[in-house]
Structure 1
Amino acid sequence: MLFRDAFHDGFGTWPLAYISTGGADYGEIQAVAEAVGDGDDGAYYDAWMAAGERLEQEAQVCLSAGSRAGAEAQYLKAAAFYATSYHPIFGEPVDPRIVRAFGKQKAALEAALRLRSNGFRPLSIPFEGQTLPGYFIPAEGRAAEVRPLLILTNGYDGTITDQYFASAVAASRRGYHCLLFDGPGQGEALILQGLRLRPDWEVVVKAVVDVAITLPGVDPARIVLSGWSLGGYLAPRAASGEHRLAACIADPGLWDMGGSFRAVAVAMGATLTQAENLGELNDALVGKLEQLLLTNRRLRWSIVQRGFWVHGVDNLRDYLRSAELFTMKGRAAEIRCPTLLTAAEGDPLAQSAASFFEELRCPKTFLQFTAAEGAGGHCEMMNRSLLNRRVLDWLDQLFAD
């Protein structure tokens, strides 16, 4: 581990995936880990913020010296570092440090993208009387051309910054325009607007596509939606109802949100029938689940801190009731466009990918990733370049036919 605390290491090593796309260098992450040392979540936050502020200052020095490329590179790193700082303190009531870090993250990323491309465009996507934030990033060196568009959708606690480094850089280099956005329950829409996650992602993506088809250079016949982490449910769910999509990618293919809870409930004494409706488990079983969550730091963070905030609930039973709504049951057969599902062998969210694949009635492809390739973890984060190469190869072949 780079970080002495395993909980911090789980968050602090994510920027390793962004080294190849300009989000960090190994030594910088290592230096942050050393600065955190045996410190608590506050020390973790402070170390990442201090590193981000140093990088941002370096960007400003580069600008003063006339180096746009240098400033862009340092602003990008600063954005990645700010984005990593607040994960351990994620939750409601919203800590002011989250708002501060998110504001600095957004400003640094926008500063970098404005330096990078004349075609970069911040977006305000009309949505149910409000707006969703988004960015249009043109294909590298081909901003004026009509190109396919890759729309990227996040999962639980990812942000546009994460999408950029994890997928958009590789896609832009390959010749794809990209549209990144925060939907309800994600990034800015959650942190600054208070919008909560919803299962009917087709409604969200319809609003995004409505804007996408108006953008210069976008081929409306070649619009692709890709989701990672929980986005592995959200993207296929959207494709089941938004039929203007030319293709869908789910990394990993995720049938529902409740699957992992069902196995735990059965292990704790629930019958298979009882586990089919998690929100109606008896009080004793819900109490056992609560005890499990409260005695495991990572689970407590995932459900009580993050999950309650994102879903807009304040207790486990209401969370489970909400989670039950996130399912592809009755929806999978409605997907019409070619669909790619991934599965990394060590990713818990990928456990349903193979059975999900069998339910699809559209043209479909299944990609397996392994630990032997260095890509066996969640969303292939330790070999994200391999994931991007295979996915983009699939898209290239799809649009070449």
Structure 2
Amino acid sequence: MTKDTQCELGIFLSVICRYDAIIIELLDIKHVFDQPLQLGSLTLGSPLLQGPLAGYSCAPFRKLVWDFGGVGYCTTEMLSAHNIVHRPHQPARYRLRDDSETIWSVQLAGSQPEILARATEIVHGWGAEIIDLNCGCPQPKIRKRKMGSRLLSDPEHLYRCVKAMRDATDRVLTVKIRIEPDDNEANRQVAEAINSAGADGLIVHARHWTERYDVPARWSAIQPFVDWVSIPVIANGDVDSLTSLQAAHQASGCAGVMIARAGLGRPWLFHQILTELNSGKTWSISQADQAELLMQHVSGLVTIDGEHLALLQARKLVAYYFPMVTLSDHCVAMKNQLSTLSDLTTLLNALLSQN
């Protein structure tokens, strides 16, 4: 055998090995993400979950996600446990649940076990199948009140909070946290506190609370959590496609994935990922359909917030639904002056005609 032949054979074998590895990886991820996920007493139709988005994940958005399918459940915006207990007349947007939502997850923020317990009882009464404790919010105003990611600094107190919620309901209880990239012992203590307090699932956002979203998620940092707890571990952070889903699962060994920001303006994303996983073909959506979805989204906002507030949010939503479209100066001016649904219709017609 000549050297050239040996070289060609080596290249051929390396390609075959890489192809086999890709096939094995796809089979592995398909085994996980094409199956139901057992979370406490609930069997979820999909291990892809929609995460909480402050200001955005209200019922009209969640309805669009459910309509496309591919999602195990959707989560509300973060709600203050204190406000739920002491201000019982919550705005409609926070309590509204669309008929399409067969499983409804409500996220609570709080730091006092007794308040969290009472809020859990109230949300249980609303009909929530899943109640989540926010232990990841990095906002200064939240941390100042010892809520969100601040809870991670005291695992014993975190245990008391989760245990109080556990004792207050038999519904599925989850906890959403962030990581300490350079302190695995701190991560372990947090994980064990949540597990021993009786949570049914652990959602791990693979960033530190000080890190912005331009810092890549450390999916491999999630893997130890899988070993530390006896409950499903859900990975969160930077998953926005089948490719990133595959990478996140391979690095973390997670039982499921929660997608939050990446789904904003893309309510079809969960359906797209599972369709591409099962078919092996690229799935896409037309700009006309995107425009129709944006119109449905904003129309839903009008019903709960009124036209004025809904159209103010629509100015931001245009960029989420059409991130790759460069608006003409005329369209930019129209977007910045949106005040009625009729204005939005005019803008979308102009946007579609320029592309």
TM-score normalized by structure 1?
0.30
Q: Give the greater-gyration-radius structure (CA).
A: 2
Higher-RCO chain (CA-CA 8 Å, sequence separation at least 6):
2
TM-score normalized by structure 2?
0.33
